[in-house]
Structure 1
Amino acid sequence: MPWKPPYRPRNDGAVTQSYNDGVVTVYCETDAAKSGFKPQPSLKPKLTLRYEERRLGLQRYYEGRQNQAQLERVLRVPRAGSVSSQDVAITEDGKQYRIDLVQAVTDVYPPSMDLTLARIEQKYEVSHDVV
Structure 2
Amino acid sequence: MPTQSSSVDPGPQARYEAYLDEGRFMLQRDRASGEHFFYPRVAAPRSGSRDLEWVAPSGLARVYAATVIHPKPPEPPYGVVLVDLDEGPRLMSRVEGIPAHEVRIGLRVRARVVQEAGRGVLVFEPVSEQA
TM-score normalized by structure 1? 0.27
| Larger strand share, 1 or 2 | 1
Q: RCO higher in 1 or 2 (8 Å CA, sep ≥ 6)?
A: 1
TM-score normalized by structure 2? 0.27
